Amino acid sequence: MKASLDNIGVLAISGTTDNNLQLHIYSCQDDFVVPVDSNGFKQYDTLDALHMEEMMKEVYSWKEDPHEFLRRRGLIAKDSSTDDELYVLIVEGFLIFNHRPLNEMFDMRYFLEIPYDVCKKRRSMRVYAPPDPPNYFDGYVWPMYLQNREEMERITSEIVFLDGLKPKDEVLAAVYEDIHKEIARLQGQS
């Protein structure tokens, strides 16, 4: 069994050309975590521990007017043109496919995997405040991953599973190529 490193959902709003492709990795599920549980831990592994409605508001705001969304956040100049820009929003998070309303908005879905032993080793090297209690990975993190993955696979289709052991540039190149293909497909429908 492989573990998720991150899930990536992609939303595209098609413009007139891909010469001015605007890729924005804005929405990160970690930004919407409920502060801490009764033990002082941030629980990332359940939907009720996340402010998903707040995350949805951000995604809806971007989808309604991506140029204005980015301008309000100071990510593009006030006077920049929108005539021939194409916008792509990349939403990442561990549970983004488990929240149906968000999942249904994606044009593309990617699930980055790594083996259990690599995931456990990487987790053990991270520094948390407060630190994970003994056996937290095997007793909580891994079982929640398995539960969430099973649910995700039951409710979500068309997921591309990516090998998280491949070089980052290779994985990114594959996703970038897929995004360009999807953009071409969407522009052909216009």
The per-residue pLDDT for range 91-147, each reduced to its tens digit, is 888 888 998 998 988 888 999 888 999 999 998 998 877 788 888 899 888 998 999
Q: 174 falls in which pLDDT band (50, 70, 90)?
A: very high
- pLDDT surpasses 70 at 32: no
Residue 2 binned pLDDT confidence (cut-offs 50, 70, 90) = very low
Residue 155 located in a structural domain: yes
The set of catalytic residues is 30
pLDDT on residue 152: 92
The pairing of strands 108-115 and 159-163 is parallel
> Is 69 within a domain?
yes
Which pLDDT value is given to residue 85?
A: 72
Confidence of residue 163 (pLDDT cuts 50, 70, 90): very high
Sequence letter at residue 13: I
Residue 112 in any domain: the answer is: yes
Q: What is the spatial distance between Cα 55 and Cα 58, in angstroms, rounded to a whole number?
A: 5
Q: Please report whether residue 1 resides in a domain.
A: no
Structure token pair of residue 67? 């140029």
Tokens 């204005």 belong to residue: 68
Tokens for 130, please give them.
Answer: 């407060």
Give the pLDDT score at 147: 92
pLDDT at residue 12, rounded to an integer:
42
pTM: 0.76
Q: Report the CATH number that the domain containing residue 122 is assigned in CATH.
A: 3.40.50.300
Q: Which residue has the tokens 């194409």?
A: 86
Say if residue 188's pLDDT is above 90: no
Mean pLDDT confidence for 162-183: 90
Number of separate domains in the chain: 1
| 177 found inside a domain | yes
What residues make up the domain containing 105?
7-187
Domain assignment of residue 131, yes or no = yes
- Which contacts of 143-146 are long-range, i.e. CB under 8 A and separated by 24 or more positions? 144/45, 144/46, 145/3, 145/4, 145/45, 146/1
